[in-house]
Amino acid sequence: MRFRVEHWGGVAVLPVMAAPAEYGGHLSARIAPLMTGIGPVEAAVALTRVLAELGGAGRLPDLVVSLGSCGSPTLEHAAVYQALSVAYRDMDASPLGFAKGVTPLSDLPAVLPLPTPIPGVPTATLSTGADVVSGPAYAAIDADMVDMETWALVRAAMTFDVPLIALRGVSDGRAELKALEDWTSTLHHVDENLAVALDRLKAVLDARGLDALSPARALETAR
């Protein structure tokens, strides 16, 4: 599916999602997102390629909006949250003396703050990794929710000095995952709730433009 850059309040917005299964009727009535594929590698490759192409054509977006599902054992099922921050749980160079989550020889902290400009949409912390988290594995993660793409998308967007907002709907986490249906069975509710959050974001951008992200130009702060 070909993606479409939206223009809300003078802001060029690139919507990004990982999997077609998360893209239901409510979102499809509003956006045509870039589909990256699942996992941090696919996400980083796809978004970097598209931002490079758009930048080369002089059409770099002002904002990337990442939408999708997440897991959480504590947050409300099917509810949508703005990611207040994101950590990279796969990175562990602690045997070399680096704190867990810190990329060696970089200036990046273990946790990157993200803009949360949407009134009425709650915030939560997020952890990204290449593994599907289930059951007891949540106990080792210091975040409210988990996904497989956001850190990689943020890093790609940072390379082009483009801020990113992450909206995540809780699809699973209360019970241990045993089949694909344990993830997909909630996605129609997540799709509907993501669409509501997206409408609120559009209203904020229509009213305030990129000023809605201030003072949380968090990616600039993180550098």
What mean pLDDT is reported for the chain?
91
Residue 165 to residue 81: CA distance in whole angstroms = 11
Which of these, 38, 15, 39, 37, lies nearest to 28 by C-alpha position? 15
Mean pLDDT value across residues 53-75: 96
**Residue 30 confidence (pLDDT) above 90:** yes
pLDDT of residue 168: 97
For the chain, the residue count is 223
Pairing of β 123-128 and β 80-88? parallel
Secondary structure element (H or E) that encloses residue 92, with its range: none
Which has the minimum average pLDDT: 53-62, 143-152, 171-180? 171-180
Residue 68 to residue 91: CA distance in whole angstroms = 22
What are the E-state strand segments in the chain? 6-8, 11-17, 34-35, 63-71, 80-88, 111-113, 123-128, 145-147, 164-172
